[in-house]
Amino acid sequence: MATAGDENRHTTFRHYLDAVGLQDLAGAEAAGLHTSQWYALSLITLEGSLSSSATSPT
């Protein structure tokens, strides 16, 4: 059974996710990118560039 503390943690986490999402939307808009481009750029930056063979279907 969920307690009041569990509900508070759930609400806090949801607020955090919404804040991160809004920050990313603002970042994409400021950079002149679509949000999917912003997230793709973030992943590429995190993982490093990909070779053409890594992006082609097998």
Q: What is the pLDDT of residue 28?
A: 95
pTM (whole model) above 0.75: no
Q: pLDDT tens, 2-56?
A: 677 788 999 999 999 999 999 999 999 999 999 999 988 888 888 887 777 777 7
Q: What is the C-alpha to C-alpha distance for residues 37 and 45, in angstroms, rounded to an integer?
A: 12
pLDDT of residue 21: 94
Q: What is the pLDDT of residue 1?
A: 60
Q: What is the pLDDT of residue 7?
A: 84
- Report which DSSP code applies to 18: H
Contact assessment for residue 24 and residue 38, using Cβ atoms and an 8 Å cutoff: yes
